Chains A and B, each alone.
Chain A
């Protein structure tokens, strides 16, 4: 079967506004080939797409020509050695890259067909739709657990209706409700590392994002918490798009439907290969991918 969805330089023409998932051959491949869970929430017109994305830090060209699609209800893992731009790419997806002094970019990132970098777009609204969970859990210490979950709504100055419903829903989706439902008034910092990270996930979910970006969310956690969060990620993909950067290849294999391999050969980071997770790990097409996933370098 040659209908490989690999996207390197030069993208295939993509029609905007049409449901991508329906016409995307990858989707059905994924359902068959990797035996991954079948998406049960189909949202037409939704999806995240990066076209020709470059990133600079001042004069340093950090990322070159990244073309990636993130279909609805999928988990995509981004793997690759340190320093090849995976986190940088993640941050171009929710417009956090521009906070670094001297940052510049090129290309476009389309959410539901609209470029998030369009001049005049409301960046805070974009960040509500594309959420992020960071490597080190960072709940707000001056707020209680309940306040932490709702903090996203407060920060974006959105109206909070059905406070209790939101709390229960988000904490349940993050897999934390049972553990904290009786102590929502406790301080945010009083939880263990794994719990704090799940609190951050709940916090990100409270603003109803369409996409959740996760930057090595488990690297600071113990294996037990890691497994629980991976469960959470798989459940989350039923309703939103998840993009996860990870150093841990086994984690990528466990959690994701698609995997993208990034590499930098001294120059800007590039996307070498992207395919279903099964293919990347068992039958990679590029030799460099094969070398990386078999551990010849890392």
Chain B
């Protein structure tokens, strides 16, 4: 039987709204927009937020009336629910957009070239932006986070290896503990390191103390993400290694871990982005500084979040603007890390 030519038959989607219905929807939407100012005057609300609120109410009513006309009264709950769900999503995006926009606009004016090349050693807090900079904070953050990474990567990967390769009797306990550790409040981590290093061991406020405090917060992220990544490595690889006569440690070190390389890198970047913006643990451990301190092992040191925080506490307008500048640098750093981690994890799929 010859194959019949069906090319003249066009696929359709009759369940979608047709143009007439879409036009009516659009008209109702427009009506809600136009009626908003009218209703706005009737209520004590004002400003953009008040207008948005009124608009949402009107649009919901319009949408609900449309559903009732089209499909009867029983669809009231369905269309109200749908409107509320759309509203919820908008409510999530609104503060995010506001935060990003504010940091960008307020911080942009405060960031000049000298922000990256100078520190605040000789600058008064109320000096204009063309003097002084955040170099000490940037360097400090870099040093502290680097040390924290050096501490956390081996420990985190080892923890993950314990959970995936050895699976000892304490597997569930360890997994639970890692989860518990991710819930430790940042201030408690700082307090703990303060207690151990600075009070008990007499170490001075220093970058290394801050790094230890950050490690407590970074370790669970690195361990958990590494575990996820290692679990994804198919068992065939391990079996191939063992079947060739390799010992377990060789299999792990030379087959499994290299296969998970990019995933572990993602885990590290995620951990870094988690702690780069932490303020509270650093408050208690590094004290902050106005000059560059290239030695993380001794002496107070600055860091971006702490820099931002202290400037804000001064209450001076110029200092607060400088704080926004610091916030912008910090946010940019965190966003770059976040996007990099996403790209890495997306690529390996």
Contacts and interface: CB of A to CB of B under 8 A. Distances in A.
Asked whether the complex places CB atoms of A and B closer than 8 A, the reply is yes
Interface in B7-41: 9-15, 18, 21
A118 interface: yes
Contact of A123 (B11, B15, B72, B74): B15
B71 A122 contact: yes
Given A64-B9, A106-B10, A120-B70, 19 more contacts: A9-B4, A52-B9, A54-B9, A54-B11, A56-B11, A103-B13, A104-B11, A105-B11, A105-B12, A118-B14, A119-B18, A120-B18, A120-B21, A122-B71, A122-B72, A124-B71, A156-B74, A157-B74, A157-B77
A120 B15 CA distance: 8
Give the interface SS of chain B, mostly helix, strand, loop or mixed: loop
Contacts of B11: 54, 56, 104-106
Interface in A115-132: 117-120, 122-124
Interface string B191-228: 00000000000000000000000000000000000000
B3 interface: yes
B170 interface: no
A5 interface: no
A156 B77 CA distance: 12
Interface residues of B, number: 17
A58 to B, nearest CB: 9
B308 to A, nearest CB: 45
A106 B15 contact: no
A17 interface: no
Interface in A186-206: none
Contacts of A104: 11-13
A228 interface: no
B6 interface: yes
Nearest to B73: A157
A65 interface: yes
A104 to B, nearest CB: 3
B4 A98 contact: no
A223 interface: no
A7 B226 CA distance: 61
Contacts of B74: 156-158
B336 to A, nearest CB: 34
Given A120-B21, A122-B71, A157-B74, A98 B6 contact: no
A61 interface: yes
Contacts of A120: 18, 21, 70
Contacts of B12: 104-106
Q: What are the 7 tightest A-B residue pairs by CB atom distance, in nearest-first order?
A: A104-B11, A157-B74, A117-B14, A56-B11, A98-B15, A119-B18, A106-B9
Interface in A50-102: 52, 54, 56, 61, 64-65, 95, 98
Nearest to B12: A106
Contacts of B10: 106
B78 to A, nearest CB: 9
Contacts of B72: 122
Contacts of A61: 6
B14 A105 contact: yes
A82 to B, nearest CB: 21
Contacts of A64: 4, 6, 9
Nearest to A118: B14
A141 interface: no
